Amino acid sequence: MILMNRRSARRSRRLFTTITVLLTLGLIGASAVALNYDALRAQYLKLTTLDFEGPGVGEVVVRIESGEDGLAISQKLVDAGVIRDFDSFYRYLIETNPVFYPGSFTLKLKMSNKAAVEVLSNSSNVMTYKVTLPEGYRAVQIFEELSRVSGIPIGEFELAAKDLKGLGIPDQALTVEGYLFPATYSFDKEASAKDIIMTMVTRMEKELEQFRVPVSQWHELLTLASIVQREAKHEEDFFKVSRVFANRIERDMPLETDPTISYSYSGKDMSEVSKEEQLKHGYNTYLVKGLPPGPIASPGALAIEATLNPAAGDWLFFVTIDLATGETKFSKTLAQHEEYVKLLRKWELENPGWYDN
């Protein structure tokens, strides 16, 4: 009985060992198959990857919209003939994880995946144009310059500027005048008139927020700042001109500033209309006390700062006595002011034709 048990035990151990070996061989075989499959799959993908070689040929414009993902971008490039295969390009995106920028890009036909990604992931490749809008430009001048540079009809800018509520402009404003910040801008070539106007308004809002001006004071501030912008010639004069107007408002005196006389949003010269019309219009500060209904131009950062922080002084008058250099004289009394005006008249006599330049 004991012998039988020992024999049975030996047979069991041999059977267990055999099974173990077979299982081990099976697992090794399975692993080999798996490894071989992965190697074969990698080789297959390498051989079947549909990718053009090189930088490509020809030229095509592709626009990437803000928020578009890799799937949408891959499909756009396939449709445009830039890349050869959707799947291989998308796999390349997953491997490299590039950052794409919205805008229009000039690419080539039949580009490699790598070459296409290099173009789209470089923000300097976005197709843009630059436009410089100087301080003191009126809306009509801004629309003309934007149209000249962009090719967008002036009417489209005028239409976009009518949506004051959509642009976030305060209710006191009658038009967009004064809310378009003057600066040098780079605009996407596909940007619409509305996009451009919104960009400029947003830039003005940021400027006002930087100076911590409450929204309730935006309109009044920009109105006075626009007048300061049109009157001042040198940086130090901005703060003194601002003080003259502040003193006049405090004393309930008319501002009596020339740039307001001719102003109209449409560009029409209001100085040529009747006194009754000018009174109704409200911008002639020789006829109407206080601030006009709204800004007369786009003030820059300096004019805004000067309006908020006028220089200390009790001047009530100023006059530019040399239109070429911008030399300006400030005075406390009318008599002193009139003496300075004589210097201006003398300069005008010595420089005939200046106003025709």
- Report pLDDT digits (tens) over 194-237: 999 999 999 999 999 999 999 999 999 999 999 999 999 999 99
Instruction: Specify whether the CB–CB gap between 228 and 299 falls below 8 A.
Output: yes
The token pair at 251 is: 């004393």
pLDDT recorded at residue 67 = 85
- Report pLDDT digits (tens) over 246-280: 999 999 999 999 999 999 999 999 988 999 999 99
The token pair at 289 is: 């006390």
Which residues pair with residue 107 across a beta bridge? Answer: 60
Q: Which residue has the higher pLDDT, 299 or 103?
A: 299
Instruction: Specify whether the CB–CB gap between 132 and 200 falls below 8 A.
Output: no
Residues 118, 54: Cα–Cα separation, whole Å: 12
Instruction: Specify whether the CB–CB gap between 62 and 104 falls below 8 A.
Output: yes
| Residue 114: pLDDT over 60 | yes
> Minimal CA–CA distance to 327: which of 342, 311, 312, 344?
344
Q: How confident is the model at residue 188 (pLDDT cuts 50, 70, 90)?
A: confident
Residue ranges of the chain assigned to CATH 3.30.1490.480: 57-125
Question: According to CATH, what is the number of the domain 57-125?
Answer: 3.30.1490.480
Q: How confident is the model at residue 49 (pLDDT cuts 50, 70, 90)?
A: low
Instruction: Specify whether the CB–CB gap between 224 and 305 falls below 8 A.
Output: no
| Residue 124: pLDDT over 90 | no
- Report pLDDT digits (tens) over 19-45: 444 444 454 444 444 456 566 555 555
Mean pLDDT rounded to a whole number for the chain: 87
- Report pLDDT digits (tens) over 136-169: 999 999 999 999 999 999 999 999 999 999 999 9
Q: Which residue has the higher pLDDT, 65 or 227?
A: 227
